[in-house]
Structure 1
Amino acid sequence: MAEQSTPETSSPGAPAEGAPGEVGVPQKVTAPKAAPKGASSENAPPGEAVSQKAPSKGVISRRRLLGTAGATGLALGAAGGAAGYAAAPSADRTALLSSLGADEVMFHGKHQPGITTALQARGHLVAFDLAAGAGRKEASALLRRWSTTAQRLMAGEASTSADTDVARDAGPSSLTVTFGFGHSFFARTGLEKQRPIALDPLPDFSSDHLDKARSNGDLWVQIGSNDALVAFHALRAIQQDAGRAAKVRWQMNGFNRTPGATSQPMTARNLMGQIDGTRNPKPSESDFDRRIFVPDAGDPSWMAGGSYAVVRRIRMLLDDWEQLSVKAQEDVIGRRKATGAPLSGGTETTAMDLEKTDADGGLVVPINAHSRITRPDENGGAAMLRRPFSFHDGIDAEGVPDAGLLFVCWQADPLRGFVPVQRKLDRGDALSTYIRHESSGLFAVPGGAAEGEYVGQKLLEG
């Protein structure tokens, strides 16, 4: 787990009648308006489509906030009360715009948001199954509704006239909403001929202990934000938009360290305390797009600019792990716990010397160390962009933490990315003693929606 980690837009369409880390690459974006004095963009990764801006006049927005606090109370006129949002004094907007809440990720672009977006503090993963009798028509209307809602919420606006007000006080907070299709979706919608070969079910692995009820699904949605209430607000809106067209199959909730919590930007740590994501592919690498995104001339054509997400709920056996000495933990991973540096020496980003030996002639990086096994050059160049969330779902019946990693990785082809690496881990990873794969899913995530389109339109209307 530790080695391969981290404009103003138009609505994508109105709902159908009667419808109930570390890395970043540019998405389509116009130059943002100048932020007020004191605003900061330090939390945006290089090239990320994130902006900080004041709300447009006349637009009902979460960023048009509550009135001044204290004795002045909440200033809402009749019209403002009916809409659920009202303009705030300029000073209050300036205060918001100098915070994490002002960061906005663009909905429209060549790729969907939430793939190269920097790690977010809060995340929700949720899978849906289409309702009995629902097919291509209902799926098309649902993706149109979802895209409209996602675009509005990511811009810091209210979702609909029935908005729950959960995120009323907040700005966009780097919200992203990402949509994907599971293997079963294509049979349900009569689109089997459009199902990608790369979406064939993942092979079985000996380390799997999978719960089928929490695996796969017709549709998959990933939600991320740097504010927990903004993330929940989006989750609730997406669930409400599903209406009678689809029902939740499973849902998982995760978190990461909040941007700005450390004195300087750094690779994230997982719940084992290990720096996790050191060798994540970077957009600056010449083959980044080839490894992560389906090419424009890819097959099928509707997946151009898209990617494939492998989703795994990986339980960490923390009670067993924490009984190990730090030295033993470092041997399992192959890196120093404090700094992430390889056991062969150097800093976190120093290339690992797999041949280096100690005074007794033994390998400094053990032969079954996790970071050795997952190296791309040890797997025929296989690479994937890891973008996980940690999770903690309380204490189980045996009194141990139900905690671990919501593993999400992105690649142009899972048969060349995730599968070969996992097969090798399956054969002798020292970390396998301390983790358990409990659920799994593979989803085709199409390219981003152009302005005026919804996500998946080329598939559903092609």
Structure 2
Amino acid sequence: MKPTSTAITGTTDPSKAAGGAREEKETDTPGGVSRRRLLRTAGAAGAGGLALGAAGGAVAAAAGGDPAPTALASVGATAVAFHGPHQPGITTPLQAHGHLAAFDLAPGAGRKEAAGLMRRWSALATELMAGEPAGTGDTGVALDAGPSSLTLTFGFGHGFFDRTGLTDRRPGGLDPLPLFSADRLDPRRSNGDLWVQIGADDGLVAFHALRAVQRAAGDAARVRWQMTGFNRSPGATARPMTTRNLMGQVDGTNNPRPSDPDFTRRIFVPPAASPGAPDAWLAGGSYAVVRRIRMLLDDWEGLDPREQERVIGRRRADGAPLTGGTETTPLDLHRLGPDGLPVIPANAHARISAPEQNSGAAMLRRPFSYHDGIGPDGTPDAGLLFVCWQADPLRGFVPVQRKLDRGDALSPFVRHEASGLFAVPGGAGRGEYVGQRLLES
């Protein structure tokens, strides 16, 4: 569940709260009230985040006078900082709505055009995440909404470095992922020169950001593929809980946490051995593995619930291991049942993917569910837009996926249909743009 005030859910100065982070000229909405004035009023509502007036932060115009700004609802008022040591959208709590998109640089576009594009996208992200309109050509889709925990995250694919003449700066972690036996990958929906992840707690705010990013690409880049996802909305549960996927399973229990002493080492790329190293520009960044995983829901839902639990290795009701306890209780991988067999089966998904079964390999899973309609045969095209973050995919995603590929009980119920791997630069400081250390090196 998101914070209920204008607290920043980022890694930079908490004093840069929504409505106070930017000093540019206010932009008025058609009703005469700027979004910044709305956000300032939301901040004045106090830490309780109370929604005054119309729900969702709509402006109530007073007859015959200037409309009085009303406070945004807590979901709308929450802002995430764009600037900082890491890009937003990595450790930011999962949002309710998401878009993933990959772009290819246009024919003839190179390093200069890529730098201009990243400069435009970074400026755009700064405005949108602060609840500002997207420049003078704003479409008005999100005029009456606050930032709603909006994040924009940018990454570079393998081909980006060839197109920009920076092949010698391509990091080893971007070596293509191996093919796995269960892959059924569509190349038209895989990879790409540039990658954008958008998340927000309001669907219109998320779409507005996607459209603004596409428009800002101009002649420099073309959309290669785009996918839309969702998660549970803030406040939908009585208390903050790990999300569930479309199979009904609690999903993300074993995620590393920022409070873990080795979190930074596992998730973020460390500084290079020397400032002149080819991959020095990636310090503070991360790698994102993106997979579109279709869930064969008809087959899955035909299983007895107890058999589903044996496939996963956890109870469906609360995510606890089959060996007992609560969701956060460690798996007891050595406990045997009355039949002499492991209580958590040898091929259970939770067992095979556990860090202790993979030499400590860990990744931060931050997915969205998706549903792209129902086919003529009645089969839903639904599943998971899997996104995982790690400092090195050869030590994070790859070894775990290889083990899953060899004997995961869940494999007959999922199909990997698209894939991508992207190097995500560290965060931009004020006055900088994402990727500047690479593109201006």
Q: Could you state the TM-score of these two structures normalised by the residue count of structure 2?
A: 0.89
Post-superposition Cα deviations, 1:19-72, rounded to whole Å, max 9, x if no partner, equal xxxxx9851214256xxxxxxxxxxxxxxxxx6769869422534459853784
Aligned 8 A contact 1:365 1:372 in 2: yes
Post-superposition Cα deviations, 1:77-96, rounded to whole Å, max 9, x if no partner, equal xxxxxxxxxx8514x1x2x0
Post-superposition Cα deviations, 1:352-372, rounded to whole Å, max 9, x if no partner, equal 101111112111100000000
Query: Do structure 1's residue 145 and structure 2's residue 120 form an aligned pair?
Result: yes
Which position in structure 2 is the counterpart of 1:305? 284
Which position in structure 2 is the counterpart of 1:27? 11
Q: 2-side partners of 1:345 and 1:355: how far apart?
A: 13
Q: 2-side partners of 1:408 and 1:67: how far apart?
A: 34
| Residue of 237, 240, 243 corresponding to 2:215 | 240
Query: Do structure 1's residue 357 and structure 2's residue 336 form an aligned pair?
Result: yes
User: Aligned letter for 1:104?
Assistant: A
Q: 2-side partners of 1:192 and 1:286: how far apart?
A: 34
- The gaps in structure 1 that reach 5 residues or longer are 1-23, 34-50, 76-86
User: Aligned letter for 2:12?
Assistant: K
| Residue of 375, 394, 406 corresponding to 1:415 | 394
Q: After the TM superposition, which residues 8-157 of structure 1 pair with which residues of structure 2 at under 5 Å, given as runs? A: 27-32=11-16, 58-60=25-27, 61-64=34-37, 68-69=59-60, 72=63, 88-90=67-69, 92=70, 94=71, 96=72, 98-157=73-132
User: Aligned letter for 1:125?
Assistant: L
What's the CA shift for 1:259?
1.2
Post-superposition Cα deviations, 1:180-235, rounded to whole Å, max 9, x if no partner, equal 00000000010000000110000010010000000000000000000000000000
Matched residue of 1:358: which SS?
Answer: coil
Instruction: Go from structure 1 to structure 2 and tell me whether the alpha carbon gap of 1:404 and 1:103 turns closer, same or farther (over 3 Å shift).
Output: same
| Residue of 238, 242, 254 corresponding to 1:263 | 238
Which position in structure 1 is the counterpart of 2:189? 214
Q: 1-side partners of 2:369 and 2:106: how far apart?
A: 30
| Residue of 239, 243, 247 corresponding to 1:272 | 247
User: Aligned letter for 2:358?
Assistant: N
Which position in structure 2 is the counterpart of 1:369? 348
Instruction: Go from structure 1 to structure 2 and tell me whether the alpha carbon gap of 1:220 and 1:57 turns closer, same or farther (over 3 Å shift).
Output: closer
| Residue of 357, 360, 366 corresponding to 1:381 | 360
Alignment coverage as a number of residue pairs: 406
Which position in structure 1 is the counterpart of 2:429? 450
Q: 2-side partners of 1:68 and 1:193: how far apart?
A: 53
Which position in structure 2 is the counterpart of 1:200? 175
- The gaps in structure 2 that reach 5 residues or longer are 1-7, 28-33, 39-56
What's the CA shift for 1:397?
3.3
What's the CA shift for 1:431?
0.3
Instruction: Go from structure 1 to structure 2 and tell me whether the alpha carbon gap of 1:180 and 1:332 turns closer, same or farther (over 3 Å shift).
Output: same
Structure number with higher relative contact order (C-alpha < 8 Å, ≥ 6 residues apart) = 1
What's the CA shift for 1:260?
1.0
Q: 2-side partners of 1:311 and 1:260: how far apart?
A: 27
Which position in structure 1 is the counterpart of 2:140? 165
Percent identity among equivalent residues?
A: 67
Q: 1-side partners of 2:140 and 2:242: how far apart?
A: 34
